[in-house]
């Protein structure tokens, strides 16, 4: 049902874009939307600030007339994705608190890793100051660690001194050189033999997290007058990911809700891409830009896409594109 709804909406939206006029009046500060000219200016700033992004024209048959032929969309390729989104969300469930560092009040955020009731002896815990406490030998061995260690050392010393006298009285046996060569040959042959495979056929590879890569695109959506973000994923063999695999790299909050699979806007026929639906982009960007302007005093429209990528990072937290640039003036 959702696929049918998305298809109907896309069909209606495409038809509406053919008759709707292109936005010419700037409403960036009032509504968080962009004109095509503002989109190009923001794209130029992104390409200049982060050279991993670049402009492309794509298929001339699919070019939008309100954008320059060579600046139809922005793209960055082969962006690594080392983990699945669920792994990050699982870590984020830990309680975080600020740890003060000195009288200035500046500190950092640390995850609360306090030991649960019944935790194993020797496990590290977090003290009231936010630092991990390493247990002593006595605590790790139930209170007798120091005595046991001392007895072990004294026992080794006694054994070594008692055996030394007998070793001096007896002559050392010198091994035959032919025996040594034979042993070396056997070890070499054993090393060359292939390791036996387990019966499950997986060889332990089921625990390996495969590295994925993504091509990321930003287009201009005429209907909503905002940028639109697209993802095309590949596995280690550069084979396209399925829609289910792509959703594994999207936060659970947005997967199947705001992310849809649609035809690549500038690619070959039949190429599908995941898209973050832009219906709420204007509202979110308006609030974020106002917040930045209140803190920095100004937020120029040229930095729109820098802030936009920071917002998108919350949707695809494990796709490691560069969103570290400052968004404020």
Catalytic (active-site) positions: 279
Coil/strand/helix, residue 319: strand
Tokens representing residue 238 in the block:
């550069």
Kindly provide the b/e burial profile for residues 87-99, where b requires at least 16 CB atoms within 10 angstroms of the residue's own CB: eeeeeeeeeeeee
CA 329/CA 303 separation, integer angstroms = 8
CA 35/CA 73 separation, integer angstroms = 14
Tokens representing residue 127 in the block:
């003290």
Q: Do residues 124 and 109 make contact, with C-beta atoms less than 8 angstroms apart?
A: no
- Residue 306 CB coordination number (10 Å): 21
Q: Do residues 98 and 112 make contact, with C-beta atoms less than 8 angstroms apart?
A: no
DSSP code of 170? S
CA 187 to chain centre: 43
β partners of residue 227: 220
CA 111/CA 97 separation, integer angstroms = 7
CA 305/CA 74 separation, integer angstroms = 10
Tokens representing residue 28 in the block:
């960036």
What separation in angstroms does the CA of 255 have from each of 6, 86, 251, 315, 324? 14, 11, 6, 8, 24
CA 29/CA 88 separation, integer angstroms = 34
């Amino acid at each position: 049902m959702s696929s049918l709804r998305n298809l109907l909406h896309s069909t209606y939206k495409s038809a509406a874009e053919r008759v709707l006029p292109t936005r010419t009046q700037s409403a960036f500060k009032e509504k968080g939307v962009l004109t095509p000219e503002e989109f190009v200016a923001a794209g130029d700033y992104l390409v200049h600030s982060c050279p991993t992004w670049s402009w492309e024209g794509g298929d001339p048959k699919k070019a939008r007339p309100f954008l320059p032929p060579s600046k139809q969309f922005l793209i960055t390729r082969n962006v690594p994705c080392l983990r699945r989104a669920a792994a990050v969300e699982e870590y984020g469930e830990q309680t975080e608190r600020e740890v003060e560092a000195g009288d200035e009040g500046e500190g950092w955020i640390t995850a609360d890793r306090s030991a649960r009731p019944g935790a194993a002896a020797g496990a590290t815990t977090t003290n009231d100051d936010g630092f991990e406490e390493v247990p002593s030998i006595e605590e790790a061995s139930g209170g007798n660690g120091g005595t046991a260690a001392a007895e072990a050392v004294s026992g080794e010393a006694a054994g070594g001194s008692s055996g030394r006298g007998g070793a001096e009285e007896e002559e050392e046996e010198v091994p035959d050189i032919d025996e040594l060569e034979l042993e070396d040959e056997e070890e070499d042959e054993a090393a060359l033999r292939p390791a036996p495979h387990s019966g499950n056929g997986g060889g332990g590879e089921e625990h390996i997290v495969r590295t994925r890569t993504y091509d990321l695109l930003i287009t201009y959506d005429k209907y909503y007058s905002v940028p639109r973000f697209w993802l095309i994923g590949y596995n280690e063999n550069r084979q396209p990911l399925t829609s289910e695999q792509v959703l594994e790299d999207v936060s659970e909050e947005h997967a199947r809700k705001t992310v849809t699979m649609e035809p690549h806007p500038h690619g070959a026929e039949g190429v599908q891409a995941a898209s973050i639906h832009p219906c709420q982009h204007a509202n979110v960007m308006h609030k974020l830009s106002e917040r930045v302007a209140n803190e920095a005093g100004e937020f120029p429209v040229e930095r729109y896409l820098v802030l936009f990528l920071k917002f998108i990072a919350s949707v695809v937290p494990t796709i490691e594109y560069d969103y570290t640039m400052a968004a404020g003036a």
